[in-house]
Amino acid sequence: MSAAEAAIRVTIWVALGLYVLAERRGSKRLHTAALVFYLAHVVAVFQFAHGWSHTVAYDYTARRTQDVTGMSVGAGLYVNYAFTVFWAGWVLWLISGRPMSVLGRIGVRAVFLFMLFNSTVVFGEGAVRWYGAILSLVLAAMLLTDLRSRKSL
């Protein structure tokens, strides 16, 4: 594995692991660290894989979607852009100290579970698929507990 590939992979593995750990512990610092690693992943992908080209990233996304689903659609790149904004907004919300309703928190976890599962289990390969499956199960268990209890988080 090249240094560039390692930068791309390790940053997202750490980001996702930190996110799930942050959710388990309720830690703003871990959430912030997870976001920092995620943003480092985005930078690494655009630097090393896409040459800072939206078009190259879009075409890559379309090819990967074709490989997995049979449909050549690059719109998933826009979902990733939206998720990046969502994640940053979530961390800013946490840092602000403003309360969030239980349903809001469940919604946030559901978005993360959707993205985590699809990016690792559906589109991932090899070890990342197993890592993503384990993290998805942990996050799904937390989400189910939230749905059952509806207690204040």
Nearest to 101 by CA among 33, 46, 151: 151
**pLDDT at res. 89:** 97
DSSP per residue, the chain: --HHHHHHHHHHHHHHHHHHHHHHHT-HHHHHHHHHHHHHHHHHIIIIISTT-HHHHHHHHHHHHHHHHS----THHHHHHHHHHHHHHHHHHHHHT----HHHHHHHHHHHHHHHHIIIIIS--THHHHHHHHHHHHHHHHHHHHHHH----
The residues of the chain scoring below 70 in pLDDT are 150-153
**pLDDT at res. 109:** 94
**pLDDT at res. 151:** 54
Write out pLDDT tens, residues 73-112: 999 999 999 999 999 999 999 999 999 888 898 999 999 9
Give dist(CA 59, CA 72) in Å, integer: 9
Total residues found in the chain within this entry? 153
- Give residue 13's identity as a one-letter amino acid code: W
pTM of the model: 0.92
Burial of 112 (0-12, 13-18, 19+ CB in 10 A): buried
Q: What residue segments make up the domains of the chain, in order of their start?
A: 3-149
